[in-house]
Amino acid sequence: MSDISPVTLDQGEAQTFTDASWFKLVDAIETLRPMQEKDGSIDGSKNDLSVAASEVQLVIEAITELAPKFAQQEQYLNQVQLDIKAWADSEFQVPDFYDSLELFRPDLDRRDGVVNLAVFAMYTQNGNPNRNLEAVITRSFWPDWLAKQEEVYQNSAFVPIEFVAFTQGYNTNSAVLFPETVATREVSDYHWGGIFCDREAARFRLVTSAAKELLHIQLPADAEELLNDQLLAQETYALWDLIHDRTHSTGDLPFDPFMIKQRMPYWMYGLEELRCDLGTFRETFKLDEQGERLGKYIRFAILFDRLFRFPITGPRARNYDGLGGQIIFSNLLRHGGLTWTNNKLTLDWDKVNPLMIDLCEQVEKLYHDGINRSKLSQWLATYEFVVDLVEPHPASNWAKGSEQLPLDGEPKDLLNLILDDEFPLNVFYDTLSRKLKNVLVETKGITA
């Protein structure tokens, strides 16, 4: 990596970034976008490859012109131009950004305000599923207080970032920049993960505020403060994500961090995300004891984002993030932590926190007991745990019982029997989804 001091932008500069070379880069990428196949290649039988080559030349020129603004990325920016040129020289076969990805290391300089330019063929998680050429300029969010917390919750790969500028793949609900989304010839070592805490905070504030008005929820003063303050919400999300991401690789029977390259029932992914959020929720009480002001805000963020945004965001096809919210809702409803009567949602604040901790312990026990189970037995046990709280689809194959499943076959046979919407939304969420449909549209591409 270059030892040149990184360029930094304050928040005002980041929000007003204008540069002719950036717009040149964006225009060329957006011209290439409709030419590209799902895997990033360009089919010469459908497109004029000479036009594609001309646009690629503009991409390379724009990166060259922008490079002085990102001096600390000299090696990466030189290599990414070579990777883009190699893609064009291959007559636009499947792109390969392995070499430049190895040199893109925002984790090595987590200083507040550092700006980085990323140009890759990639899909954008929860955004564009195709590996199009994309460009994004990020600003690191790394205040001193967060750096001190990272000394406690050590996570060298964690990089909270803000949007400065982006191409259409990020004009979506995608709020991450992950190396595993990049087109490469082989799997790379993953050293970092970027979380756009500004978008996470903005989406939370918009959807939760709308749910509050729709459902006539009476919120505590601290929760109201969180909804009305973008910077506070962003700080909250940065610390929540720091602890959450670290939790993926801790505890009994943890998954691979971020569950990369694992194929299993999608509710297992939902339970893993839920485990990490509930573990973070419990950890906030330790933050309170240490005098960390953000603990109470993290609890509100986890509760409301899981209850209101996650279940109704995105398609229902194997929506494991949404399932976690459905589980929380059902557990609170069952035990009186919330009621929905006369179209009014009421939370019993004396019960909410203990019920969230109890649910955390239930999930952790499921993981602990899974150490002594076979993989298949754990799949069945986790299914039973979920269906105890969330009603399965009436046509579910799994709900018929293990005696009706091909347990002597291959694991894929069981996976293929899982319905895309194995756990449909209940009446509450079906209503919430219809009522907040337009609000969810407004979250697309939001940054603050």
- pLDDT for the residue 136: 98
* CA pair distance 315, 266, nearest whole angstrom: 14
* CA pair distance 152, 286, nearest whole angstrom: 12
Give the single-character DSSP code of 405.
Answer: S
226 pLDDT above the threshold of 50: yes
pLDDT tens digits, one per residue of 326-367: 999 999 999 999 999 999 999 999 999 999 999 999 999 999
* CA pair distance 260, 268, nearest whole angstrom: 13
255 pLDDT above the threshold of 80: no
Three-class DSSP category at 392: coil
pLDDT tens digits, one per residue of 201-221: 999 999 999 999 999 999 999
- 3-state SS of 204-269? HHHHHHHHHHHHCCCCCHHHHHHHCCHHHHHHHHHHHHHHHHHHCCCCCCCCCHHHCCCCCCHHHH
pTM score above 0.85: yes
Question: Are the C-beta atoms of residues 74 and 67 closer than 8 Å to each other?
Answer: yes
* Averaged pLDDT, 308-327: 94
Written as one string, the DSSP assignment of 177-213 is: E-GGGB--SSPPP---EEEEHHHHHHHHHHHHHHHHH
Q: Where are the domains of the chain?
A: 11-191, 201-442
- pLDDT for the residue 249: 85
Structure tokens belonging to residue 408: 């002597």
Listed residue (377, 417, 362) closest to 393, CA to CA: 417
- pLDDT for the residue 263: 80
Element (H, E) at 150: helix 144-152
Q: Which CATH architecture has domain 11-191?
A: 2-Layer Sandwich (3.30)
* CA pair distance 322, 268, nearest whole angstrom: 13
The percent of residues above 70 in pLDDT, for the chain, comes to: 95
Q: How far is CA 218 from the centre of its chain?
A: 29
Structure tokens belonging to residue 294: 């953000």
pLDDT tens digits, one per residue of 5-46: 566 767 666 666 788 999 999 999 999 999 999 999 999 999
